[in-house]
């Protein structure tokens, strides 16, 4: 076994806001050992216990759990629910996360001090409240002594037939003996940046303070000691071969997934669209626009983002000569989970549980990168250079 895989095997992880265990599956596939997990939801808890064993997860409100009772671990993960921060106690541009679920992550990191963390959230985190929300998150994590990096990824680049953007935020405990590194992008992707962007990244003196956030944070960035730099990286160089809906649709589907006559009548009044929008094949809808009422999708492209909101499960697809919604098995496939992962839940609840989850292939790509050496960037006052971290 190589030194790196031995190191991976030793990694103990804790999964907060575990849901049905998207991070857990990713960690398992990398040889990590999840030593503790938590979620408040009964149905998610039942799935997690069924898949990973009786002692795998604690059910309860994380805000009521004393972080000191959580076992020691090297990597903390969590896809935390997005809640507004309060304006009380606001410093310039920075809000107050106290009392929020995000604060529970900060509390665990402060007390348990794992070497790494990986967090996941929705794309709009980068622009909520004119950037103040994200700068508050970065500020709280950076103040704990972690080097932070984030990147917006799309599930469709990691082998899934779904347009699902998610922001991943990673932290590596700052070590004065080690150079700062970037891990969620590569030297080849950085070479695609404009000269001005690259020059800023390589001169930390010019990085922007979190007290003056950008209204929309770029899709990739790094934050050290309360200052950040970032850019919209034009391309993801590690794209998996594309997969479309037609590749993952079930063949013999029960008629309970078909649309009723009433819905079909509505659909026949639709205006044709017949074009691809962000890789999604939009056949028709009520207004003839890109994304309007009663949209009918085809299967030659990818699925729009699957969500946990109940109305969205009834999105309409034309599959061959049938008009139907996606099945729970298709939801599992589009999210990168085993088909029977949520077998303890009703079909209706499976849509919610899968829709809420982090796709394991996305989580795996990020968790793997966190442990990679990364590309070294200069510290304040040092010469401009880029090299591989040791
Ligand atoms: C976005 S989902 C994360 C799903 C998870 N990453 C997965 O792969 O299934 C957020 C999770 O936070 C849980 N949650 C919400 N409030 C909580 C609380 N106060 N304490 C613990 N868990 C909570 C929800 O039940 C939900 O499963």
pLDDT, position 5: 65
Same fold yes or no, 3-239+361-388 and 245-356: no
Can you tell me the mean pLDDT for 46-57?
92
Are 30 and 8 spatial neighbours (Cβ–Cβ below 8 Å)? Answer: yes
Is 389 part of the annotated catalytic residue set? no
Highest mean pLDDT among 66-75, 78-87, 263-272, 287-296: 66-75
39 within ligand 1 shell (Cβ under 6 A): yes
Is the pLDDT at 387 greater than 60, yes or no?
no
- Both tokens assigned to 91: 């410093």
**Ligand 1 centroid distance, CA of 44 (Å):** 8
**Ligand 1 centroid distance, CA of 161 (Å):** 24
pTM of the predicted structure, to 2 decimals: 0.93
* DSSP code, position 326: P
Is the pLDDT at 157 greater than 80, yes or no?
yes
40 within ligand 1 shell (Cβ under 6 A): yes
78 closest CA partner among 67, 87, 94, 89: 67
Q: Strand, coil or helix: what is 110?
A: helix
Distance separating alpha carbons of residues 381 and 384, to the nearest angstrom? 9
Q: Whose CA is nearest to atom 26 of ligand 1?
A: 19
* Active-site residue, selected from the candidate residues 55, 82, 156, 223: 82
Per residue in 110-119, pLDDT (tens digit) is: 999 999 999 9
Q: To test the ligand 1 pocket, which listed residue (13, 14, 29, 41) has its Cβ within 8 A of the most ligand atoms?
A: 41
**Ligand 1 centroid distance, CA of 337 (Å):** 17
Say which CATH architecture domain 3-239+361-388 belongs to. 3-Layer(aba) Sandwich (3.40)
Q: To test the ligand 1 pocket, which listed residue (24, 26, 28, 40) has its Cβ within 8 A of the most ligand atoms?
A: 40
Per residue in 184-205, pLDDT (tens digit) is: 999 999 999 999 999 999 998 9
SS3 string of 3-71?
A: HHHHHHHHCEEEEECCCCCHHHHHHHHCCCEEEEEEECCHHHHHHHHHHHCCCCCEECCHHHCCHHHCC
Please report, rounded to a whole number, the percentage of residues in the chain having pLDDT higher than 90.
Answer: 71
Can you tell me the mean pLDDT for 160-171?
97
pLDDT class for 374, splitting at 50, 70, 90? confident
Highest mean pLDDT among 40-44, 261-265, 309-313: 40-44
**Ligand 1 centroid distance, CA of 279 (Å):** 29
63 within ligand 1 shell (Cβ under 6 A): yes
First to last CA, the chain: 20
Pairing mode, strands 12-16 and 33-39: parallel
**Ligand 1 centroid distance, CA of 53 (Å):** 19
308 within ligand 1 shell (Cβ under 6 A): no
**Ligand 1 centroid distance, CA of 277 (Å):** 30
Structural domain spans, the chain? 3-239+361-388, 245-356
Per residue in 324-363, pLDDT (tens digit) is: 999 999 999 999 999 999 999 999 999 999 999 999 999 9
pLDDT, position 383: 47
Q: Whose CA is nearest to atom 2 of ligand 1?
A: 356
62 within ligand 1 shell (Cβ under 6 A): yes
Is the pLDDT at 388 greater than 60, yes or no?
no
- Mean pLDDT of the chain, nearest integer: 89
Lowest mean pLDDT across 118-127, 172-181, 242-251, 374-383? 374-383
Q: Whose CA is nearest to atom 27 of ligand 1?
A: 19
DSSP β-bridge partners for residue 140: none
CATH number of this structure's domain 245-356, picked from the four choices 3.40.50.2300, 3.10.20.30, 3.50.50.60, 3.90.120.10: 3.90.120.10
Distance separating alpha carbons of residues 160 and 325, to the nearest angstrom? 18
pLDDT, position 326: 93
């Amino acid at each position: 076994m190589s030194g790196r895989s031995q190191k991976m095997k030793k990694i103990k992880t804790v999964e907060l806001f575990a849901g049905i265990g998207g991070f857990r599956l990713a960690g398992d596939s990398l040889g990590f050992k999840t030593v503790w997990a938590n979620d408040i939801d009964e149905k998610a808890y039942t799935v997690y216990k069924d898949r990973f064993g009786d002692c795998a997860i604690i059910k309860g409100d994380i805000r009521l759990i004393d972080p000191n009772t959580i076992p020691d671990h090297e990597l903390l993960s969590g896809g935390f629910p997005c809640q507004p921060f309060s304006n009380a106690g606001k410093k310039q541009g920075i809000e107050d996360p106290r009392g929020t679920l995000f604060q529970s992550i900060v509390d665990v990191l402060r007390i348990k001090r794992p070497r790494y963390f990986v967090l996941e959230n929705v794309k709009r985190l980068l622009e909520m409240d004119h950037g103040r929300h994200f700068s508050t998150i970065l500020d709280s994590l950076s103040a704990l002594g972690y080097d932070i990096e984030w990147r917006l990824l799309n599930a469709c680049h990691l082998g899934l037939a779904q347009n699902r953007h998610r922001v991943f935020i990673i932290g590596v405990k700052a070590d004065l003996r080690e150079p700062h590194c970037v891990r969620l992008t590569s030297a080849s992707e950085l070479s695609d940046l404009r000269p001005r962007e690259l020059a800023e990244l390589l001169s930390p003196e010019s990085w922007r303070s979190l007290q003056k956030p950008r209204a929309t944070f770029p899709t990739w960035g790094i934050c050290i000691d309360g200052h950040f730099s970032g850019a919209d990286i034009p391309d993801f160089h590690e794209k998996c071969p594309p997969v479309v809906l037609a590749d993952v649709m079930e063949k013999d589907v029960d008629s309970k997934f078909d649309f009723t006559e009433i819905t079909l009548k509505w659909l026949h009044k639709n205006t044709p669209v017949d074009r691809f929008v962000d890789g999604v094949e939009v056949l028709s809808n009520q207004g003839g626009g890109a994304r309007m009422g009663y949209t009918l999708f085809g299967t030659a492209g990818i699925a729009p983002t699957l969500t946990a909101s109940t109305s969205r499960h009834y999105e309409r697809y034309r599959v061959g000569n049938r008009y139907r919604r996606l099945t729970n098995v298709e939801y599992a496939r589009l999210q990168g989970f085993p088909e029977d992962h949520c077998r303890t839940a009703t079909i209706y609840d499976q849509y919610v549980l899968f829709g809420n989850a982090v796709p394991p292939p996305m989580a795996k790509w990020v968790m793997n990168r966190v442990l990679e050496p990364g590309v070294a960037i200069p510290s304040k006052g040092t010469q401009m250079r880029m090299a591989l971290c040791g």
